[in-house]
A and B are shown apart, each in its own frame.
Chain A
Amino acid sequence: MKGAKLHYLGSGLSAIGLVMALAVPAARAQEPAYDLLLTGGHVIDPANEIDGVRDVAVRDGKIVRVAAGISPQAARRTVDVKGLYVVPGLVDIHSHHYGYSGALFPDDTALPAGTTTVVDAGGPGWRNFEDYQKKILRRAKTRVLTFINSVGLGMGGEESDVNDMDPRATADKILAFPDLIVGVKNAHFGGSGWVSVERAVEAGRLANKPVILDNSILSWTGRDTRTKVLEKMRPGDIHTHFYNDRHVEILDRRTDKVQPYMHEARKRGVIFDLGHGGGSFLWPVADRAMAQGFPPDTISTDLHAGSIMSTQSDMPNAMSKLLLLGMPLRETIHRATVTPARTINRLPEIGTLGEGRTADVAVLQMQEGVFSFHDALNKKRLGTRRLLNVLTVRAGEIVYDRDGLAFPNWDAPGAYGRTR
């Protein structure tokens, strides 16, 4: 907001003069040890219990070293990220990239937000997975994984069509693409009873993968959250739209207390996923649950063409909302990297800055000022801190750089042109 103190770049820009180590002298005897070095940032890498100022060195698309005082001489390109947070590329396990008109191409919205891994939540089913693979997966720079829909045609089909819910065919598709499919999605079921949940869980059981569920809990469906989270879901299965109040009965409506069965379900190992989106984050619900110590396990966006305009909830926005509700920064990073990666059985391959891991990195800025955060019913809540992504590295490549931290000044001598 106008007049707010925005510490854009902090001290980052003042040190940019040091950063211009782009030109490699031709006569250099030795190849630099690193392709990219992020220096001076505050690294938060929960999986490796790092929370402090470190440099991060990248070579051949991998993290090769995280340490203090790595020499810029050893790097082809050095980026000064002092005053900023350096975290594993964010992992969004609920987003939409295929199968309906609100779908977004992953790179367009994920990479500017620091999200380097997205999991499409039920866009394709077993009948059209290859089409999705051709149109979306192969074109995206973002790492795109998939919860395959339990309905054969996915979100492009009729999600209430029980006849198109074939657990065996769904499981076979998962087993055919173990690197791409991380689980099963069931959602938007318009019928009553447990058949859609049971078939999705059956597909998950056959393929040994988790299922992610939303569900209407309206009384005529014959379903209730208690039965679902205590009897129908397995440990490791995921309930999304967590701070909604029509997909999951998290609070007792008379006492505003978190339902005992929610605590019990969490103890059983059921995972509760934010799945913010356009309809699934309400300040009164989130506020009461957080005050009673019941945070979401995984922070995710359910980002689509509508929610990006209304709640504006990409990963840093959703994380900022949880900061506002008292979640410590380190924990928001944890629940946006480590927990989602573990939930889809990809830890430590993703979600960490461990040496040897793919160099997926987000550089985040904590802005101070007065900021407005919006919920599903267009109500705002003002906060004084906002996380924003300023630079994204995907597999070692700088794919987004809001302030041009990694590039030379326009009037610096030397060749000119796209230098990537």
Chain B
Amino acid sequence: MARTRTLPLGLALAGICLLAAVSGGPLAQSEPIYDYLLRNGHVIDPAGGRNGRMDIAIAGDRVVRFGTGLPAQHAKQVIDLSAYYVTPGLIDLHAYVNSQAVFRDGDPRTDWRNVNPDHNALRHGVTTVVDGGSTGWRNFESFKTLVIDQSRVRVLAFLNIVGAGMLEGQGQADPADLRVDDAVQMARRHTETIVGIRSPHLRGAGREGLNRSLQAAESIKGPALVEYQEDAGFEYRELVLGRLRAGDLVTHTFGPGTPVLDADGALNDTLKLARDRGVLFDLGHGTQGFWFRLAVPAVRAGFLPDTLSTAMDKTSLLLPRADLMTTLSKFLNMGVPVEELVDRVTARPARALKRPELGTLREGGLADLAVIEIQQGQFGFLDAGLARLRGDRNMRAVMTMREGRIVWDSEGLSRPDWSQAGSYTNYR
């Protein structure tokens, strides 16, 4: 009580107004206004136009204030982030997270390579992960019930145009299973979650697979996430210059299936022309999407994918480590500035998904954010071809906040020291 009285009137009033706005009711003056005051981090929020040191105040599940020198006594807890970058919660636009598939009854063909969304996203600063089409209209709802609704990370999804999505042991595409109407119907039933349509990953789907994906995507006014396949019956050039619409995403950008470079090693004009048309390039690292041999020359020539995503699955998380922080570290060591990287995992994927409320920090918005450290040292990074890039910097997420809760805190920034905690016990 005494402390709040000593505040300059204007500040106190501002704070009170803010809290009133947040809680929608009157409040006792003696109570701290903020749950957390994140102090003095270097905030990079491209969509919000922020790039510099500032404090961020969190109350409940919301960001309530940006500022400098926000008073500590207004917060239940002050966390000094001077050593770190602070970004909006990152968006991994393409990953495989139908993790319960491995435990599901009866169907030996479930794609068990999917990974747990929570710990594989939140530990890397990712607060929104988008499934790249592990399920289609036949099995999306079990994915929703078993995984999406149980996860702390926000899980969105591209719906596979293949009815059963991606199942282990699937062979050729069955044209009868690529059903536009059923996919559209399912997507309309789950507009909160389904953001677009995934083209068939199956061999032999050909033109028809692509046609139907684009048709379904058009119907729901969402993007298609498309993977080029050499046996599709047409050239990459036709795909990105003739078929894809502005806003569609073509993935595995720096993988061997993409004609990134000309024979003379220069950047292929096709990529530039496609970008001019509004086609978006998604990294989709995984085991298929990222060779340094293609990426290093392309980045040197000024070409970066629009969205940097992991396409992570069980294989690529172990070798070559396709988690998002490691993926970003690879680009950092290729010379890409950190602001560019953050843009491609926040603002740009949010736009691509037509979810502008994601990937940015604003007063009154949900408090999803990442605290990132750039370590100096000697590091090595593998690509999807299992070749190494040496580097001297490594990015990692030291803290992740999801809807105002600290869900990852590797350095104990928010935790009290045991020696000051008094006697404590597990007994409840």
A261 within 8 A of B: no
The closest CB in chain B to the CB of A131 belongs to B105
A193 within 8 A of B: no
The closest CB in chain A to the CB of B417 belongs to A380
What is the CB-to-nearest-CB distance from B186 to chain A, in angstroms, rounded to a whole number? 25
**Contact B319 A245, beta carbon cutoff 8 Å:** no
The closest CB in chain A to the CB of B416 belongs to A379
**Contact A1 B417, beta carbon cutoff 8 Å:** no
The closest CB in chain B to the CB of A3 belongs to B83
**Contact B119 A309, beta carbon cutoff 8 Å:** yes
Mask, A405-420, CB within 8 Å of B = 1, is 1011111100011111
Name the one of B314, B318, B426 contacting A400, with C-beta atoms under 8 angstroms.
B318
Question: Beyond A6-B377, A101-B150, is A380–B412 a contact (Cβ under 8 Å)?
Answer: yes
B378 within 8 A of A: yes
Query: Given the complex of chains A and B, what is the CA–CA distance between A112 and B273 in angstroms?
Result: 41
* Cβ–Cβ < 8 Å partners of B418 in chain A: 283-284, 375, 379-381
The closest CB in chain B to the CB of A253 belongs to B425
The closest CB in chain A to the CB of B114 belongs to A105
What is the CB-to-nearest-CB distance from A274 to chain B, in angstroms, rounded to a whole number? 15
**Contact B425 A245, beta carbon cutoff 8 Å:** yes
- B residues 398-428 near A (Cβ < 8 Å) are 398, 407-413, 415-419, 421, 423-428
Query: Given the complex of chains A and B, what is the CA–CA distance between A412 and B390 in angstroms?
Result: 12
* Cβ–Cβ < 8 Å partners of B320 in chain A: 404
Query: Given the complex of chains A and B, what is the CA–CA distance between A32 and B375 in angstroms?
Result: 39
What is the CB-to-nearest-CB distance from B391 to chain A, in angstroms, rounded to a whole number? 10
* Cβ–Cβ < 8 Å partners of A377 in chain B: 421, 424, 426
**Contact B387 A107, beta carbon cutoff 8 Å:** no
**Contact B314 A108, beta carbon cutoff 8 Å:** yes
What is the CB-to-nearest-CB distance from B387 to chain A, in angstroms, rounded to a whole number? 4
B296 within 8 A of A: yes
Interface centre among A401, A404, A419 (most CB of B within 10 A): A404
Question: Beyond A8-B379, A378-B415, is A408–B387 a contact (Cβ under 8 Å)?
Answer: yes
Query: Given the complex of chains A and B, what is the CA–CA distance between A3 and B398 in angstroms?
Result: 14
Interface centre among A282, A371, A380, A382 (most CB of B within 10 A): A380
A134 within 8 A of B: yes
Name the one of B118, B378, B411 contacting A9, with C-beta atoms under 8 angstroms.
B378
* Cβ–Cβ < 8 Å partners of B411 in chain A: 1, 371-372
* Cβ–Cβ < 8 Å partners of B84 in chain A: 2
Query: Given the complex of chains A and B, what is the CA–CA distance between A403 and B394 in angstroms?
Result: 11
B36 within 8 A of A: no
* Cβ–Cβ < 8 Å partners of A403 in chain B: 379-381, 388
A327 within 8 A of B: no
The closest CB in chain B to the CB of A281 belongs to B426
Name the one of A373, A376, A402, A410 contacting B292, with C-beta atoms under 8 angstroms.
A410
Query: Given the complex of chains A and B, what is the CA–CA distance between A108 and B319 in angstroms?
Result: 11
Query: Given the complex of chains A and B, what is the CA–CA distance between A312 and B379 in angstroms?
Result: 22
B285 within 8 A of A: no
Count of interface residues, chain B, beta-carbon cutoff 8 Å: 67
Question: Beyond A13-B380, A246-B427, is A305–B389 a contact (Cβ under 8 Å)?
Answer: no
What is the CB-to-nearest-CB distance from B291 to chain A, in angstroms, rounded to a whole number? 7
The closest CB in chain B to the CB of A280 belongs to B426
B343 within 8 A of A: no
Query: Given the complex of chains A and B, what is the CA–CA distance between A109 and B387 in angstroms?
Result: 23
Count of interface residues, chain A, beta-carbon cutoff 8 Å: 67
Question: Beyond A98-B103, A105-B102, A378-B415, is A407–B377 a contact (Cβ under 8 Å)?
Answer: no
A187 within 8 A of B: no
Name the one of B317, B375, B424, B428 contacting A282, with C-beta atoms under 8 angstroms.
B424
What is the CB-to-nearest-CB distance from B145 to chain A, in angstroms, rounded to a whole number? 12
What is the CB-to-nearest-CB distance from B79 to chain A, in angstroms, rounded to a whole number? 13
**Contact A9 B150, beta carbon cutoff 8 Å:** no
- B residues 267-314 near A (Cβ < 8 Å) are 287, 291-293, 296, 314
* Cβ–Cβ < 8 Å partners of A54 in chain B: none
A336 within 8 A of B: no
What is the CB-to-nearest-CB distance from B373 to chain A, in angstroms, rounded to a whole number? 5
A399 within 8 A of B: yes
**Contact B387 A416, beta carbon cutoff 8 Å:** yes
Question: Beyond A2-B375, A400-B318, A404-B381, is A136–B387 a contact (Cβ under 8 Å)?
Answer: no
Query: Given the complex of chains A and B, what is the CA–CA distance between A309 and B320 in angstroms?
Result: 22
Query: Given the complex of chains A and B, what is the CA–CA distance between A169 and B413 in angstroms?
Result: 50
What is the CB-to-nearest-CB distance from B409 to chain A, in angstroms, rounded to a whole number? 8
* Cβ–Cβ < 8 Å partners of B382 in chain A: 401, 404, 407
Query: Given the complex of chains A and B, what is the CA–CA distance between A136 and B378 in angstroms?
Result: 37
What is the CB-to-nearest-CB distance from B200 to chain A, in angstroms, rounded to a whole number? 23
Query: Given the complex of chains A and B, what is the CA–CA distance between A107 and B319 in angstroms?
Result: 12
B123 within 8 A of A: yes
Mask, A244-279, CB within 8 Å of B = 1, is 111000000000000000000000000000000001
A346 within 8 A of B: no
* Cβ–Cβ < 8 Å partners of B426 in chain A: 244-246, 279-280, 282, 376-377
Query: Given the complex of chains A and B, what is the CA–CA distance between A251 and B415 in angstroms?
Result: 25
**Contact A108 B116, beta carbon cutoff 8 Å:** yes
A232 within 8 A of B: no
The closest CB in chain B to the CB of A136 belongs to B102
Mask, B95-124, CB within 8 Å of A = 1, is 000010011010010001001101110110
* Cβ–Cβ < 8 Å partners of A371 in chain B: 411
B39 within 8 A of A: no
**Contact B319 A379, beta carbon cutoff 8 Å:** no
What is the CB-to-nearest-CB distance from A91 to chain B, in angstroms, rounded to a whole number? 19
Query: Given the complex of chains A and B, what is the CA–CA distance between A163 and B103 in angstroms?
Result: 26
- B residues 359-385 near A (Cβ < 8 Å) are 373-385
A139 within 8 A of B: yes
What is the CB-to-nearest-CB distance from B197 to chain A, in angstroms, rounded to a whole number? 28
A94 within 8 A of B: no
Question: Beyond A403-B379, A404-B380, is A418–B386 a contact (Cβ under 8 Å)?
Answer: yes
Query: Given the complex of chains A and B, what is the CA–CA distance between A377 and B424 in angstroms?
Result: 8
Question: Beyond A404-B320, A410-B383, is A305–B119 a contact (Cβ under 8 Å)?
Answer: yes
* Cβ–Cβ < 8 Å partners of A244 in chain B: 426
A135 within 8 A of B: yes
Known: A1-B83, A2-B374. 8 other contacts (CB 8 A): A2-B84, A103-B103, A105-B116, A112-B318, A372-B412, A381-B419, A410-B292, A410-B389
Closest 4 CB pairs of A and B: A372-B412, A380-B412, A404-B388, A403-B380
List 21 contacting pairs A-B, 8 Å CB cutoff, sorted by A: A2-B374, A6-B375, A16-B380, A16-B390, A103-B103, A105-B99, A105-B115, A111-B318, A131-B105, A309-B408, A377-B421, A379-B415, A380-B415, A381-B417, A381-B419, A403-B380, A407-B387, A409-B388, A410-B385, A410-B388, A416-B387
